[in-house]
Structure 1
Amino acid sequence: MDGPKRWNREWIEEIFHPATTSHILAIPLDFHGGEDVISWPYTADGQYTSKTGYSYICGLLALEVASSSSSMNSTLPPNLWRKLWATGALPRCNETTWRAIRGFLPVREQLFQRHVDTDPSCILCGHVSESTEHIFMRCPAAMAIWYASPLSLRVENVPSFQALWMSFLQEQQSEVVALAQTLIYQIWEVRNRVLFRQGRLVVSEVLDRVMGMAAECSTRAREGTPTSIVVWRRPPERVVKLNFDASFGDGKVDGLGMIARNHRGEIMAAATP
């Protein structure tokens, strides 16, 4: 934080993925000062009890079962998930697409439904509630980007976001899927630039960035540089998995990072120098 009342936006945007950044910046800060205290929100006095802990875990399990039964994950075969991660798109495009399909992106409609004090209307068009399907398919800006792209796709004719990706993963070559993943990433990027940096939407600029990323993928493929990442697998319950990586240059470490996640894939901690 940059002082007690403001997040250090520049530092956070430099370190974290845009989806994580938006979560962090949405956390309200205490404007009144005071010391932090440990409190359990499921008892009246804030003290943890094993009974309320057990009830909380049972509620999470019930919620997970209910959400998985209605999510795309329950209808998408494992081989199609593997295809999504192995298309050759840049890792950040893979991750953003995966988050969009699973409904994990912090679109304004979801934030509003979870009682976050925000306007639920679409940041790009301002007319409709910003759901995942709207921001990537129904918003006029998204429709223009899809149609003007090399895919020349009229997404308004596709019944749903899930149907769009089922079609891509079942019927299209990996190169086409990779381009669609890059489009998803750039739509989300321009949305965040408009929201957090007072940027503007120019379809031609978005497509230029898409083609630039596609060219980067082609260069990596020719040079034999891997562009996809190993699919992350959940650890057992009550286990936290720690992933870390480093990059080297001129015989020295020039990049280092780690992330810890629980069995639901929730981030418990992350760090980088």
Structure 2
Amino acid sequence: MACSTNGSNSTVQDRIFHAEAAPACKELVWLACNEELEVRSLLFAKGNVENDTCPCCGKYSETTMHALMQCEEAKCIWFGSPLGLRVELLHDITTVSEWIGECASFMDKKVLGMVCVIMWAVWEKRNVWVEQRKKLDFPEVMAKAHSMFFSDEWILPSYPHVKANFSASVKDSVGTAMGVVFRDFAGVPQACATNLMEKQCFEEGIASLYSHWNEVIRGKVNSDGFFLDSLLEDCKTMIRRTKSCLRLVGCGGNKVARFIASEAFVYGERVWTEEVMDEATQYVIADVLGPLSLEYSDFDSDSFHDF
């Protein structure tokens, strides 16, 4: 069953995948819309489990709608979330497909992104219980949801922190170009840098890299499983010592770093202190003035990788 309420299947899919959420969240929502999540009712129908009872509440058949929306534990998460959703008031909604179709018809990409990350976090809570017999409390679930949400606008860091945005761009037969910019709580550039490597080093997609990073943070991987493991371990040590955090960001929230990365093909390895390159100034100003002051569609989004 595909999402089709209040619009075509393709329209709903397009809105889901433009929502401000990590790719894993949007993929899960789309699977849920198409009844492809491995809930107990589906596994039972295939003969893979002995019963279809929800592993969380132990009372009802675990359909997709029950697991993600109607289970009492799921209801508590939706109501306690920033959306404050009372699932029991959705009298006319019987499937996740219908619910997401309704959401896609009137929500902007920020709010729809919040729906996606909360739904992902509900499913993650369920899986942690099934696989580890560990119950995540509400703050833990919300922390997981927050880590998967990203704004499509650049946001100032809080005082007295400095935010580092970085991006990489890959060109066939040329190499991998990288750009980074550091800005303080007033949005003033502290430094920026470019680097160009002839070898195309991004062998994994950015979503896969970010997922692996989260596994490293949780101590669930060894040092032999990934070609960037040693670098990620160094990042983990640095972040722990500086009390920093790492987040995925949307292309609109990473305009400066994306532009600097594109210029790395020209500048090679170079550092600017207390400023950015002249060509990037307009993007710095746009971040401070707001998202309407500059369109960022000039960049080839398929070739960029952002943090």
Normalization by structure 2: what TM-score? 0.49
Report the Cα distance in structure 2 between the residues aligned to 1:168 and 1:186, rounded to whole angstroms. 18
- From 171, 180, 184, the equivalent of 2:119 is 184
**AA aligned opposite 2:203:** L
- From 87, 90, 93, the equivalent of 1:155 is 87
Question: Aligned pair 1:83/2:18, yes or no?
Answer: no
CA spacing shift, 1:73–1:80, aligned 2, 3 Å: closer
Deviation at 1:101, TM superposition (A): 0.6
Q: How far does the alpha carbon of each residue in 1:113-137 deviate from its partner, in whole angstroms, 9 at most, with x for none?
A: 1111343111111111111010011
Question: Aligned pair 1:167/2:102, yes or no?
Answer: yes
Match of residue 25 from structure 2? 93
Match of residue 136 from structure 1? 68
Secondary structure of the residue aligned to 2:148 is helix
Question: Aligned pair 1:213/2:144, yes or no?
Answer: no
- From 199, 204, 210, the equivalent of 2:139 is 204
Percent of pairs with identical residues: 26
Report the Cα distance in structure 1 between the residues aligned to 2:101 and 2:123, rounded to whole angstroms. 20
- From 131, 136, 145, the equivalent of 2:77 is 145
Match of residue 38 from structure 2? 106
Secondary structure of the residue aligned to 1:179 is helix
**AA aligned opposite 2:88:** E
Match of residue 186 from structure 2? none
Deviation at 1:199, TM superposition (A): 1.4
Q: Which of 1 and 2 has higher RCO (CA within 8 Å, sep 6+)?
A: 2
After TM superposition, list the pairs within 5 Å mapping 1:27-106 onto structure 2.
Answer: 71-73=1-3, 76-77=7-8, 78-106=10-38
Deviation at 1:156, TM superposition (A): 1.7
**AA aligned opposite 1:155:** V
Deviation at 1:162, TM superposition (A): 2.6
**AA aligned opposite 1:146:** W
Deviation at 1:99, TM superposition (A): 0.5
Where does structure 1 lack aligned partners over 5 or more consecutive residues? 1-70, 227-246, 259-271
CA spacing shift, 1:79–1:143, aligned 2, 3 Å: same
Question: Aligned pair 1:116/2:74, yes or no?
Answer: no
CA spacing shift, 1:117–1:256, aligned 2, 3 Å: same
| 1:88–1:174 Cα contact (<8 Å) kept | yes
Match of residue 173 from structure 2? none
Rg: which structure is higher?
2
Deviation at 1:203, TM superposition (A): 1.8
Report the Cα distance in structure 2 between the residues aligned to 1:254 and 1:122, rounded to whole angstroms. 43
CA spacing shift, 1:248–1:163, aligned 2, 3 Å: same
Report the Cα distance in structure 2 between the residues aligned to 1:176 and 1:74, rounded to whole angstroms. 19
CA spacing shift, 1:113–1:79, aligned 2, 3 Å: same
Secondary structure of the residue aligned to 1:72 is coil
| 2:2–2:33 Cα contact (<8 Å) kept | yes
**AA aligned opposite 2:134:** G
Question: Aligned pair 1:125/2:72, yes or no?
Answer: no
Match of residue 219 from structure 2? none
Deviation at 1:204, TM superposition (A): 2.3
CA spacing shift, 1:183–1:248, aligned 2, 3 Å: farther
Report the Cα distance in structure 2 between the residues aligned to 1:208 and 1:74, rounded to whole angstroms. 31
**Structure 1 vs Structure 2 CA RMSD:** 2.9
| 1:137–1:156 Cα contact (<8 Å) kept | no
Secondary structure of the residue aligned to 1:256 is coil
Report the Cα distance in structure 2 between the residues aligned to 1:248 and 1:198, rounded to whole angstroms. 44
Q: How far does the alpha carbon of each residue in 1:7-32 deviate from its partner, in whole angstroms, 9 at most, with x for none?
A: xxxxxxxxxxxxxxxxxxxxxxxxxx
Secondary structure of the residue aligned to 2:103 is helix
Match of residue 194 from structure 1? 129
- From 185, 192, 203, the equivalent of 1:256 is 203
Q: How far does the alpha carbon of each residue in 1:117-162 deviate from its partner, in whole angstroms, 9 at most, with x for none?
A: 3431111111111110100111001100000000001112212223
Secondary structure of the residue aligned to 1:99 is helix
Deviation at 1:209, TM superposition (A): 1.9
